[in-house]
Chains A and B, each alone.
Chain A
C-alpha cells in the first residue's frame, strides 16, 4: 500500500513542477468566479447555488485537462515501461494516479472557499448546502477523474485523451437535460445515469445513499476499466 503513496506523491508533485497546474487552476477560478458573480448581485440571495450548478459543466472540461497526461504521457515517453518493471502492481499505479488527480481537484476548490466566507458577511448563508456542495464536488471530481484516467490509459496522445474524456463527462453532465427526447419508460434509467442529477441532489444538502452509490460506482467502473486496459497492454 505504501507504493500508492509514492506514486501519488510523485504524480501530485509533477503537476506543480510543470505550468499545467497553475494554468488549469487559474482557468477554473476565472471561469467559475466570473459566471457566479456576474449574476450573483442580481439574484440578491446569500447562497452558493449558482456556483455549484456550474460545477458539472466546468469540471467536464477542466478535469480531463488534469487527467489527460496521467497515462498518455507515460505511454508516449515510454516511462510506462520503466515504471511497470519496478516492483509496483497495477493497483498501486492506478490508485496513486487517481488520488493525485482527486487531491488536485480538492486543491483547485480550496481557493473558492473564499466565496462562502465572503457571502456569509453579506447575508444569512445556510452552511448545510455549502458543505453538501463541496462534498458533492469531490465526488463529482473523483468520478470524472476515474473516467479521465481510463481514457488516458487508452492512448499515447494527450489531446485525444483530453477530448475523449471531455466527451464522456459532457454526456454524463448533459444527459438529464436531454430527457425530453426519450420515451417515458426510459426516463428513470437515463435520469439515474446523469452525473448532474446526482450532484444536484447532494448540493441541495440531501445526502441520499443512492447518489453516493452512483458516484462510487462510476469511480469503480472507471478504475476497473483502467486496470483492464493496462492488463491488455501485455
Chain B
C-alpha cells in the first residue's frame, strides 16, 4: 500500500530522517515510536506531502509523491500534532469547508458531516468556535477533519497527546474502530498506546529505524537479552558468580546478599536460546537450596530504552 524507500530529510546540517525504508500493508495499523526529536513528525510530514524529501521516494499504490502529490493527498487523511485548526470558525462551518475541499457531493455532504459528528462525539459543540473548545474536542474535530472523505489511509501524529485518560481511551476506541478497514499510520511516544492499538511498530531514533516488527517480536528478538532471577539459600556469593558465570550465554550476574538468608541473583542472558535449563542443571550439581526461579518478561520500556538510549 505504502512503500517508503531511502527517505532522507535534512534541515540545514541536521539530518532529521536518515535513509528510512518502510513497507506498510493494506489494513495495517502501524505505530511510529521514538523519543522526542527522533524524526517521527518529519517522516509523517513527508508521507503526507507537506515536506519534500531530500532523497528517496514514497509510493502510495501506483503513485509517487513527487509527481502525484495531489492524488495521494486525495486518498489520505492527516491529523497533525495538537490538531491545528482555524480558531475563529464554528465546528460545523469547518467540517462543511473540509467536505467542500474534499470534493464531497452536495447530497452526501450533510449525511457525512452528521455521521462524523456522531462517530467523533461532536454533536454538542457543532455551533461553537473551534478556539473555544477543550483540547480533547479539538482533537476530535481534527479526527473528523481527517476522516471526512473516508480516505483509505489515515495518518495521525500523536493523536492522544495532552488528553486526559478518558479521552485517550475514547480516541483509541475510534482509531481501533476505523482501523478495521483502513490503513493507519500513527506516531506516539506512549508505549502502552502503541501496544494497545498497533499491529506493527517501527521505532525510530535519531532519524534511523532501530526496530521494526510486532510488539511481541520486538520484546523478544529486538533485545536478544532477558533477565532470570533466582533466589538461593545456603550459597556463597563468589561461588555463585563463578559457577553460574560459566554457563554459556550468561552476560552478567548481580548477586545481592543483604537480605539475610536468601541470596538474590539477577542473571542477564544474552542468547537466542532459553538458558533456564542450563542454569537449573548447574544449580542442581551444588548443595544450594533453590527458593525462587523465574524469567522476567522484558518490559516495553526496557526495550525502548535499550534501542533508543543505549544504542
Contact = CB atoms under 8 A, between A and B. Distances in A.
* A, B assembled together: yes
Nearest to A3: B101
A17 B98 contact: no
Most chain A CB within a 10 A radius of its CB, from B76, B78, B88:
B88
A81 B50 contact: yes
Contacts of A17: 88-90
Contacts of A78: 80, 82, 84
Contacts of A3: 101
Given A82-B145, A85-B49, A77 B87 contact: yes
Interface residues of B, number: 30
Tier of interface size on chain A: 20 to 34
A10 interface: yes
Contact of B73 (A6, A79, A81, A87): A87
A89 interface: yes
B70 A6 contact: no
Nearest to A69: B88
Interface of A is mostly: helix
A234 B48 CA distance: 12
Contacts, number: 63
Interface string B97-134: 11011110000000000000000000000000000000
Nearest to B97: A10
B50 A85 contact: yes
A14 interface: yes
Contacts of A185: none
Contacts of A87: 70, 73-74, 101-103
A88 B101 contact: yes
Contacts of A77: 84-87
Interface of B: 45, 48-52, 70, 73-74, 76, 78, 80, 82-90, 93, 97-98, 100-103, 142, 145
26 contacts: A6-B97, A9-B100, A10-B89, A13-B93, A14-B88, A17-B89, A17-B90, A77-B85, A78-B82, A78-B84, A79-B84, A79-B85, A79-B86, A82-B78, A82-B80, A82-B85, A82-B142, A85-B50, A85-B78, A86-B102, A87-B70, A87-B101, A87-B102, A87-B103, A88-B101, A234-B50
